[in-house]
Chain A
Amino acid sequence: MSNPQQLSYTKEHEWLSEAVDGVATVGITEFAANALGDVVYAQLPEVGETVTEGETCGELESTKSVSDLYSPVSGEVVEANQDVVDDPSLVNTAPFEGGWLFKVRISEEPKDLLSIDQYTELTAGN
């Protein structure tokens, strides 16, 4: 699998897009999606909710387990992906595209993100 170049990553396997007009998109990586197995339920933060970098903001439930979703950045949620709520398997089939989770208006520059190289190294050998 290859991680898209233009994204930033977290140790908890979320990705964050480059902000456009202050709004960035959040999802989980293909590595995370593969580790989870079939995602059957996604609880996403609601529009208007404030999320904080490194703190939980939702959960993803798969056949075997439930995993917390951590926000890679602080800000206000401006959109949650209703397609994923309706069909959580999008997280497995298109984690970097149609399986994105929510969009956030960034209130503070994130401090703890990984570059593509750092993230690829983190997940190498797994």
Chain B
Amino acid sequence: MSTAPRLTALDALHRSLGATMTDFAGWDMPLRYGSERDEHNAVRTKAGLFDLSHMGEITVTGPQAVELLDHALVGNISTVGNGRARYTMICQEDGGILDDLIVYRLGETEYMVVANASNAQVVLDALIARAADNGGFDAEVRDDRDAYALIAVQGPESPGILKSLTDADLDGLKYYAGLPGTVAGVPALIARTGYTGEDGFELFLKPEHAEGVWKALTEAGEGVGLIPCGLSCRDTLRLEAGMPLYGHELTTALTPFDAGLGRVVKFEKTTNEGRFVGREALEKAAERAETAPPRKLVGLIAEGRRVPRAGFSVVKDGVVIGEVTSGAPSPTLGKPIAMAYVDAAHATPGTEGVGVDIRGTHEPYEVVALPFYKRQK
């Protein structure tokens, strides 16, 4: 494995904008351009522009593409209409989460699976291996990581900004839908998805078109407060929106049910006689979550100002009752917030006396239901 970080097609542009760069899953990515709080607030109130080209695109095509995806993933991909998208997961045989994914149906027998950068190779390998299961599926799994740059424009002003640059029918494009179109004169897959808790779009483009589209969006958004945004604010945006991040809330040691996301597992699939990788283990996990859940994912809001970080212990009466998986100062709430797995007995919102051990001091925290932030529609 090469140790030199991979650069996106927008690398030179980020540097010209003075971005602070960071290594993320082997990619050199913008962490922030200026103040991450300003970037966060721009997405909540106006619009932000992100380079997400590190995300891993995998194309699955062929007569049995949908059968393969129903077999390999926990979702019911057969029910995804043409031009629609679905949030789903890929699990191990023991039910442990390998990654969370978005699957876009691009055509009758063509799907694009978008994996987290850190898991793209794992997901690709698993899909290729699973394509050979059950005597083999008549489908092709293609690594398209280098075929796409990915630019996201997120925030309440994003529909207006994008509308000025595309002939696509954005009003007809629902949340979790995607259609091919033209943006700033070049072909793009336009998807109404994001990871910020706001309305917004993700644009899958040829890498050689990325710079032109970025500049066109920047110009179109100038008058309404669009600014470039880095991964730092993407993390606080998704945290406020209660969205899990792989490696934090999701790991191979947890099933979707443990993570409070059992709804993504569909046992009522009709393809492959209802069988799929992980089914038996996930049925047991579903029952355990129903009857005797070990821990639950909750939100924590600080009463003080010290910030909880991933790995910090959640405590009550001097006893460890859980662990923080993500924590940050919330620009919207003006207080530190965290997601944490907490023993089920203490996971009810409003549970008294819960704290986080912040470098030896037990700071008081309020247990709340997720998400911390929900946009007004």
Contact = CB atoms under 8 A, between A and B. Distances in A.
Q: Do A and B come from one complex?
A: yes
Nearest to A34: B20
Indicate the size class of the contact surface on chain B.
Answer: 10 to 19
Nearest to A40: B329
Contact of B309 (A34, A37, A66, A92): A66
Interface string B193-213: 000000000000000000000
A111 interface: no
Contact of B36 (A41, A63, A66): A63
Interface in B272-316: 305-307, 309
A41 B309 contact: no
B329 A41 contact: yes
Nearest to A65: B309
A43 B359 CA distance: 13
B36 A38 contact: yes
Interface in A55-101: 61, 63-66, 89, 92
A63 B20 contact: no
Interface string B85-128: 00000000000000000000000000000000000000000000
The binding surface of chain B is classed by DSSP as mixed
Interface in A13-59: 34, 37-38, 40-41, 43
Contact of A38 (B35, B306, B309): B35
Given A38-B35, A92-B35, A63 B309 contact: no
Contacts of A89: 37
A40 B36 CA distance: 11
B184 interface: no
A8 B123 CA distance: 52
A89 B309 CA distance: 20
Contact of A61 (B31, B232, B329): B329
A40 B20 contact: no
B44 interface: no
B37 A63 contact: yes
A40 B307 contact: yes
B38 to A, nearest CB: 8
A41 B35 contact: no
Interface string B25-41: 00000011001110000
The residue in B32, B36, B307, B328 that gathers the most chain A C-beta atoms within 10 A of its C-beta is: B307
A38 B37 contact: yes
Nearest to A64: B232
B8 interface: no
B305 A63 contact: no
B325 interface: no
Contacts of A41: 305-307, 329
27 contacts: A34-B20, A37-B31, A37-B32, A37-B232, A38-B35, A38-B36, A38-B329, A40-B305, A40-B329, A40-B336, A41-B307, A41-B329, A61-B306, A61-B307, A61-B329, A63-B36, A63-B37, A63-B236, A63-B328, A63-B329, A64-B31, A64-B232, A64-B328, A66-B307, A66-B359, A89-B37, A92-B35
Interface of B: 20, 31-32, 35-37, 232, 236, 305-307, 309, 328-329, 336, 359
Interface of A: 34, 37-38, 40-41, 43, 61, 63-66, 89, 92
A-B pairs with lowest CB-CB distance, top 7: A40-B329, A41-B305, A38-B37, A63-B36, A61-B307, A38-B35, A37-B36
